[in-house]
Structure 1
Amino acid sequence: MFEVEAKFAVPEPGDVKDRLERQGVRMAKRQQERDVYYNAPHRDFGETDEALRVRYDDSGSTVTYKGPKVRVGSAKAREEFNLGVASGEALEEILSRLGFKRAAVVSKVREFYEMGDVTVTLDDVEGLGTYIEIEILTDGANEDAAERIGTIAKELGVEGPPIYTSYLEMLLFKQR
């Protein structure tokens, strides 16, 4: 499965929420997420543009592997695999014992808005600010999904260039 998404900085999230409401789109859920990222002992995920994370949220714990980013029009796509785990803490202990090193923790409050097969999230990311992500899951990284995302961004009044770096990359850059 590929995740095709575009991310934009949102100085005034209230404006986006108003436009969503005018389109009849309501918030599906709001939750706190804490993402713990790991680096592998046998290769540097920063160099290979991969990610391995353990996410803690209201529904439990999930481990996610993300492949390297691919540019698709004005969006990015990544192969992504998710697996729910009974205990994120136990998984983190296993990763640690296997030599994986904790790279960073990204905490955010995320609001989800569903528009058919499109997910819009407003993210208040600790230490970084507020962003919107517009995402479509597809079988492949395709241009149609990127075009649809661009159209939705315009409809929501989102301006500025898309941000291709992940929250993890943004946070690590800020910490340097």
Structure 2
Amino acid sequence: MTDVIEREIKIKLDIDPSQLVRNLEKEGFEYLGEEEQEDVYLNGTVKDFRDTDEALRIRVVNDKVELTYKSPKMGKDSKSREEITVNLDNKESMIKILEKLGYKSSYVLRKRRISFRKGNFTVCVDNVEGLGNFIEIEGIDVKESDLVSFFQDFKGKFHLNGEPITKSYLELMVNKLDNSNPN
């Protein structure tokens, strides 16, 4: 089990992601790998995570499956929250257990992620199905001010435009779906 404070900031990419990947490699960022991720978000019938700003997620990456609880957000300049993660052997069995406890699958997000490391930070170039391309910078158990400083330096160095996004991909997808469904 892992219990950490994860802080992250993302920005929508307005440049070619493959060019950014090449630039990261040229600048000495350590390549960590590329992966396809499937995130199944669950919501409770008794406790609605949309109201409490929490999340319960099952993530599948290759043959690895994990369950993560995410606390309400804590930071103002980044998306900061406590995360508790356990490894699982079987996604379907865990979903059945959670359904018996009153949780239901609410959203499924898929993304292709290319990850790099520089110091205490992981830099992810993400292509999120239905949302587009993003750069996400994450730090585990780092000060929010250090993350913001790294993000600003990174943004300047790689000539990225746009304001930081502190919403999760799930929140962005829900907002997109709500706006496309004006009932």
- Tell me the TM-score normalized by structure 1: 0.91
- Counterpart of 2:168? 166
Q: Which amino acid aligns with 1:49?
A: D
Among 100, 103, 127, which residue is 1:100 paired with?
Answer: 103
Q: Report deviation, 1:72.
A: 4.1
Among 113, 129, 132, which residue is 1:129 paired with?
Answer: 132
Among 35, 45, 61, which residue is 1:31 paired with?
Answer: 35
Q: Report deviation, 1:11.
A: 2.5
Q: Which amino acid aligns with 2:44?
A: A
Q: Report deviation, 1:163.
A: 1.0
Q: Report deviation, 1:155.
A: 2.3
Q: Report deviation, 1:173.
A: 1.7
Among 53, 66, 83, which residue is 1:49 paired with?
Answer: 53
Q: Report deviation, 1:107.
A: 0.4
| CA root-mean-square deviation | 1.6
Corresponding position: 1:85 with 2:79 = no
Distance across 1 between alignment mates of 2:65 and 2:29: 28
**Contact 2:39–2:58 (CA under 8 A) maintained in structure 1:** yes
Distance across 2 between alignment mates of 1:174 and 1:43: 23
Runs (5+) with no aligned partner, structure 2: 179-183
- Counterpart of 1:153? 155
Three-state SS of the structure 1 residue aligned to 2:75 is strand
Q: Which amino acid aligns with 1:40?
A: G
| Cα deviations by residue, 1:138-174 (Å, 9 ceiling, x for unpaired) | 16x5323332233233223222101121111111122
**Contact 2:75–2:144 (CA under 8 A) maintained in structure 1:** no
**Contact 1:135–1:149 (CA under 8 A) maintained in structure 2:** no
Q: Which amino acid aligns with 1:153?
A: K
**Contact 1:16–1:158 (CA under 8 A) maintained in structure 2:** no
**Contact 1:16–1:157 (CA under 8 A) maintained in structure 2:** no
- Counterpart of 1:142? 144
Distance across 1 between alignment mates of 2:70 and 2:152: 23
Identical positions, percent: 34
5 Å-filtered alignment, 1:112-127, equals 112-127=115-130
**Contact 1:61–1:87 (CA under 8 A) maintained in structure 2:** yes
Q: Report deviation, 1:17.
A: 1.7
Change in CA separation of 1:87 and 1:68 when aligned onto 2, cut-off 3 Å: same
What is the number of residues matched between the two proteins? 174
